[in-house]
Chain A
């Protein structure tokens, strides 16, 4: 399109970062969070440097993907969105047919050289596709458009729940829903939807796997099964609570170091932070997240076209969902759902997806046109 030939660099157009189409504050936030995360991870992983190195490699890989994606113009994402969506659906079906099993769920496609999780990709593809569908159809979306969008969310989410991977399904659904919400979904639809969802809860219950039901029951009353399913939540709360205001000190957390805390370098790393760095450390982390979140929202507000706005806003709100679902789970506010603490938890896939999301965000921000 011709419009793209106008596109030049944004406000921060000078310097290396500008030339690389990267946003300085966003990058700073990412760096601070990953750095803080590495410090916690060193302790959580039993002071293993090899674990840190592997995490560092993933951060590096994530950054490379981020830089690469920031170079692509948003129009490219927009035009590829529907095809990526269809391809993603195809891969999800393939996973259910020939996928590899890990930790009791079928999530992986083995491409020979790399194992690949199509559901992870859908965290980005679903909001792109929905933003593509809604970006030029006028606001607020009509009822039939809403139905189309809900279907576009429901089909991949259902496929992911089948794997089963409740955490990823929740994030994909959130990402899709946020596009709809930001596009101006009418309140009356939303309220109607909530009522309908409430009515559908029993149906959903029947559809859940036994372990997922157990998680919900355990969440409602963790003490009912202190050595079984409730163990995670109880030990995690003990870790956090015993940390106090200043924490027990780096690598000094008894709950973490003596292995009472499960999954302490991945999903429950927030409890390690709470135990060893106390409320003070938690507040530092929350401030860093708020900084990153607000900066992302500012970039979304500055986006010039509807597609960019919707995608950027949805990605940042999904980022918030990561934070809230993970911390809520670890502190016993929400049921246990496998969602990592973004940029801090050990693990390759989510790190790369998050960085890719920030790359798209930076692409949207750096490809603005001058309008006077």
Chain B
């Protein structure tokens, strides 16, 4: 037994040794094969794999440029860039989006609206593009998420610069706001300059000077991890070209005064520098908070603003079309002096009614009992309608159209923000084209007091008023004062727009100009002037004209009772003025929708702005040395 066992064992042993050595040799050979394989990968094909590894980790990324800032004429900042934090999610890297959102909701506030917006964007974007989950995270929320970041693959915080408007609604209609780049925007921009940027100027200055403000995108090489997160910047291949800063003619303190003057009203106030056409203040109320819109994606807010019956998004100053009413009287008076043989000193007897030959329906004066004997000056000072009915008939619609057009009414002012209305100065041609009807005498009559088809914007009235102050010199209102080059940091002033002296207006005799302006001064400072309450105690002289524009027509014997008429049918209150009358520097136009009488409602608001500009600013300038 023992022998057998030992013999068996030695046979076992020999066999085992053979097999074990064979196996060990094969194993060693296989490990050497492995080393050979590694040699092939790491030495022979090294370059190939090194390139692939770099391709994995290195990505070229656009550097969006920093948008230029917007300042007022005194260097107050109207639009700036502030950092905000946005929570983003890359759909293809997140397994269960609903659950991830629920978990995120424990760290940052997620409202239903946020989720709704997220899912709407999720459907419209590609799977590998980050979708914003929440915007404007607070510092605390950023901190809370950062601690838990590892739990959320595919979710990250992105810091970006957001546009901020420190003055909010005060400057909203002038400065504008940014919005997401739309399909239409893509048609007109150079896409390479916009890579990495997702917002673009949508309205006003932000829109007009978009190319200057935006600059151009650069690019950098970044190292990313497998989730596409940027770990660090390797190098900058092409630096971004920052946008230039813009300076406006606007004086934001004056704007504030104008804003306050329009408190509680719907309407507009425009103040122009008569010497260069610069827009000193331009207010349209109600307004909106451009910060909410520039934050982007707040569709609900935008819908609410659009649906608001007060139309806060609508810039009444440049787009609102209103009957100019009696504010056209100085211009038509001037036209009468120039084009007809009107004797300004010959009084016309105003009974409160005016008849066209062969018609028995009267055109009434705003004062039922009439003004009595009325000459040129009284016609303007007391705003006698009958005087101007008669003058309009003398002039005829062709002359009315010609002179008002030369004052810039009925055509765009050429201000450097988009979307302004042209208004309307009716003519025989226009009526035939637009309505297919011939012109009636009655329409000429009411054109004499700026009613009927006639429509103008507050900005047009301000421009015409400046032309009145300048003896017929027309200038396009201009918001841009200059810009500061992003590289040289040097301010480059823009030349004021070239003035355009209309031939028609420039050949008007100086004494005709003087009579008209004197009458405007008298209407503010005279004892019977329609704006006499406004002119009281003014240390400088104002040349102005009130207007009360009818929104609807009265029946023959109806009496207009302000308090009884529904708000939307009430008269618009208007006032135009320039000052100081003998050396004009500022021209103002005010419109208060459904405000009632121009003298009582509109004129005091213009006075506030002129006081600020002519007194307070002067005082400051004196004190400043």
- Tell me the A residues contacting B by CB distance below 8 Å: 136, 138-140, 178, 181-184, 235, 237-245, 254-255, 258-260, 274, 278-279, 282-283, 286, 289-290, 293-294, 297, 300-301, 305-306, 309-310, 313, 317, 320, 323-324, 327-328, 331, 333
Chain B positions 209-237 with a Cβ under 8 Å from a chain A Cβ? 223-227, 231
How many whole Å from A331's CB to the nearest CB in chain B? 5
Binary flags per residue of B1-28, CB closer than 8 Å to A gives 1, else 0: 0000100110111011101100110011
A333 to B37, CA, bound (A): 8
Report whether A297 and B53 are in contact in the complex, using a CB–CB cutoff of 8 Å.
no
A279 to B41, CA, bound (A): 9
A293 to B32, CA, bound (A): 14
Query: What residues of chain A lie closer than 8 Å to B20, measured between beta carbons?
Result: 182, 297, 300-301, 309, 313
Query: What residues of chain B lie closer than 8 Å to A183, measured between beta carbons?
Result: 12, 15-16, 19
Interface-centre pick from B8, B49, B53 (highest chain A CB count, 10 A):
B53
- Chain B, Cβ-Cβ closest to A134: B12
The SS class assigned to the A binding surface is helix
With A138-B8, A139-B15, A258-B226 known to touch, is A238 a contact of B53 (CB < 8 Å)?
A: yes
How many whole Å from A190's CB to the nearest CB in chain B? 11
Query: What residues of chain A lie closer than 8 Å to B226, measured between beta carbons?
Result: 258-260
**Besides A254-B56, A309-B16, 6 other CB < 8 A contacts?**
A182-B19, A183-B19, A274-B38, A297-B20, A313-B23, A320-B31
From A241, A306, A324, A333, give the contact of B9 (CB < 8 A): A306
- Chain B, Cβ-Cβ closest to A289: B31
Query: What residues of chain B lie closer than 8 Å to A238, measured between beta carbons?
Result: 49, 52-53, 56
With A258-B223, A309-B16 known to touch, is A241 a contact of B48 (CB < 8 Å)?
A: yes
- Chain B, Cβ-Cβ closest to A317: B23
Query: What residues of chain A lie closer than 8 Å to B60, measured between beta carbons?
Result: none
A317 to B226, CA, bound (A): 37
Report whether A258 and B41 are in contact in the complex, using a CB–CB cutoff of 8 Å.
no
| B57 interface residue per 8 A CB criterion | yes
From B11, B15, B31, give the contact of A286 (CB < 8 A): B31
Report whether A139 and B23 are in contact in the complex, using a CB–CB cutoff of 8 Å.
no
With A241-B48, A289-B31 known to touch, is A297 a contact of B24 (CB < 8 Å)?
A: yes
| B42 interface residue per 8 A CB criterion | yes
- Chain A, Cβ-Cβ closest to B50: A242
Report whether B225 and A306 are in contact in the complex, using a CB–CB cutoff of 8 Å.
no
Ordered by A's residue number, 20 sampled pairs between the chains whose C-beta atoms are within 8 Å are: A139-B15, A183-B16, A235-B56, A240-B41, A241-B50, A242-B53, A244-B50, A245-B43, A254-B57, A258-B57, A259-B226, A260-B225, A282-B42, A290-B31, A294-B28, A301-B17, A306-B9, A306-B12, A320-B30, A324-B27
| B46 interface residue per 8 A CB criterion | yes
From B13, B30, B39, B224, give the contact of A324 (CB < 8 A): B30
Interface-centre pick from A182, A239, A305, A324 (highest chain B CB count, 10 A):
A182
How many whole Å from A103's CB to the nearest CB in chain B? 15
Report whether B19 and A243 are in contact in the complex, using a CB–CB cutoff of 8 Å.
no
Query: What residues of chain A lie closer than 8 Å to B46, measured between beta carbons?
Result: 241-245
A10 to B57, CA, bound (A): 55
How many whole Å from A215's CB to the nearest CB in chain B? 19
With A237-B41, A258-B224, A274-B38 known to touch, is A306 a contact of B27 (CB < 8 Å)?
A: no
A184 to B16, CA, bound (A): 7
Query: What residues of chain A lie closer than 8 Å to B356, measured between beta carbons?
Result: none
- Chain B, Cβ-Cβ closest to A231: B226
Interface contact tally, CB-CB below 8 A: 143
| B35 interface residue per 8 A CB criterion | yes
Query: What residues of chain B lie closer than 8 Å to A184, measured between beta carbons?
Result: 12, 15-16, 19
- Chain B, Cβ-Cβ closest to A321: B27
| B493 interface residue per 8 A CB criterion | no
Report whether A182 and B34 are in contact in the complex, using a CB–CB cutoff of 8 Å.
no
Report whether A279 and B39 are in contact in the complex, using a CB–CB cutoff of 8 Å.
yes
Report whether A260 and B57 are in contact in the complex, using a CB–CB cutoff of 8 Å.
yes
A240 to B30, CA, bound (A): 19
Report whether A240 and B28 are in contact in the complex, using a CB–CB cutoff of 8 Å.
no
From B9, B24, B49, B56, give the contact of A240 (CB < 8 A): B49
From A178, A283, A309, give the contact of B35 (CB < 8 A): A283
How many whole Å from B387's CB to the nearest CB in chain A? 85
How many whole Å from B226's CB to the nearest CB in chain A? 4
| B45 interface residue per 8 A CB criterion | yes
Q: Which 8 A-B pairs have the closest CB atoms?
A: A241-B49, A242-B53, A258-B225, A184-B15, A259-B226, A320-B27, A241-B41, A260-B226
Chain B positions 51-84 with a Cβ under 8 Å from a chain A Cβ? 52-54, 56-57
Query: What residues of chain B lie closer than 8 Å to A254, measured between beta carbons?
Result: 53-54, 56-57, 223
Query: What residues of chain A lie closer than 8 Å to B17, measured between beta carbons?
Result: 301
From A139, A239, A255, A300, give the contact of B12 (CB < 8 A): A139
Query: What residues of chain B lie closer than 8 Å to A305, measured between beta carbons?
Result: 9
Report whether A242 and B52 are in contact in the complex, using a CB–CB cutoff of 8 Å.
yes
- Chain B, Cβ-Cβ closest to A258: B225
How many whole Å from A324's CB to the nearest CB in chain B? 6
- Chain A, Cβ-Cβ closest to B30: A324
A227 to B470, CA, bound (A): 74
Query: What residues of chain B lie closer than 8 Å to A235, measured between beta carbons?
Result: 56
Query: What residues of chain B lie closer than 8 Å to A293, measured between beta carbons?
Result: 24, 27-28
From A136, A182, A294, give the contact of B16 (CB < 8 A): A182
Query: What residues of chain A lie closer than 8 Å to B56, measured between beta carbons?
Result: 235, 238, 254-255, 258, 260
Report whether A309 and B12 are in contact in the complex, using a CB–CB cutoff of 8 Å.
yes
Query: What residues of chain A lie closer than 8 Å to B8, measured between beta carbons?
Result: 136, 138-139
Query: What residues of chain B lie closer than 8 Å to A136, measured between beta carbons?
Result: 5, 8
Report whether A310 and B49 are in contact in the complex, using a CB–CB cutoff of 8 Å.
no
Query: What residues of chain B lie closer than 8 Å to A140, measured between beta carbons?
Result: 15
With A181-B23, A182-B23, A300-B20 known to touch, is A240 a contact of B38 (CB < 8 Å)?
A: yes
How many whole Å from B92's CB to the nearest CB in chain A? 10
- Chain B, Cβ-Cβ closest to A324: B30
- Chain B, Cβ-Cβ closest to A294: B24
- Chain A, Cβ-Cβ closest to B48: A241
Report whether B11 and A258 are in contact in the complex, using a CB–CB cutoff of 8 Å.
no
From B23, B34, B225, give the contact of A178 (CB < 8 A): B23
A237 to B52, CA, bound (A): 10
Query: What residues of chain A lie closer than 8 Å to B16, measured between beta carbons?
Result: 182-184, 301, 306, 309-310, 313
Query: What residues of chain A lie closer than 8 Å to B5, measured between beta carbons?
Result: 136
Query: What residues of chain A lie closer than 8 Å to B57, measured between beta carbons?
Result: 254-255, 258, 260
A309 to B19, CA, bound (A): 11
With A238-B49, A242-B52, A309-B13 known to touch, is A282 a contact of B23 (CB < 8 Å)?
A: no
How many whole Å from B522's CB to the nearest CB in chain A? 82
A259 to B16, CA, bound (A): 46
A333 to B11, CA, bound (A): 38
Report whether B42 and A244 are in contact in the complex, using a CB–CB cutoff of 8 Å.
yes
Query: What residues of chain A lie closer than 8 Å to B19, measured between beta carbons?
Result: 181-184, 313
Interface-centre pick from A241, A293, A313 (highest chain B CB count, 10 A):
A241
How many whole Å from A357's CB to the nearest CB in chain B? 16
Query: What residues of chain B lie closer than 8 Å to A294, measured between beta carbons?
Result: 24, 28
- Chain B, Cβ-Cβ closest to A313: B20
How many whole Å from B94's CB to the nearest CB in chain A? 16
From B13, B27, B223, B231, give the contact of A317 (CB < 8 A): B27
Report whether B45 and A241 are in contact in the complex, using a CB–CB cutoff of 8 Å.
yes
How many whole Å from B112's CB to the nearest CB in chain A? 34
- Chain A, Cβ-Cβ closest to B44: A241
Report whether B42 and A279 are in contact in the complex, using a CB–CB cutoff of 8 Å.
yes
How many whole Å from B416's CB to the nearest CB in chain A? 50
Query: What residues of chain B lie closer than 8 Å to A282, measured between beta carbons?
Result: 35, 38, 42
A333 to B30, CA, bound (A): 11
A328 to B34, CA, bound (A): 7
Report whether B52 and A331 are in contact in the complex, using a CB–CB cutoff of 8 Å.
no
A333 to B41, CA, bound (A): 11
How many whole Å from A292's CB to the nearest CB in chain B? 12
How many whole Å from A297's CB to the nearest CB in chain B? 5
A270 to B180, CA, bound (A): 48
A306 to B7, CA, bound (A): 12
A259 to B229, CA, bound (A): 11
Query: What residues of chain A lie closer than 8 Å to B13, measured between beta carbons?
Result: 306, 309
How many whole Å from B28's CB to the nearest CB in chain A? 7
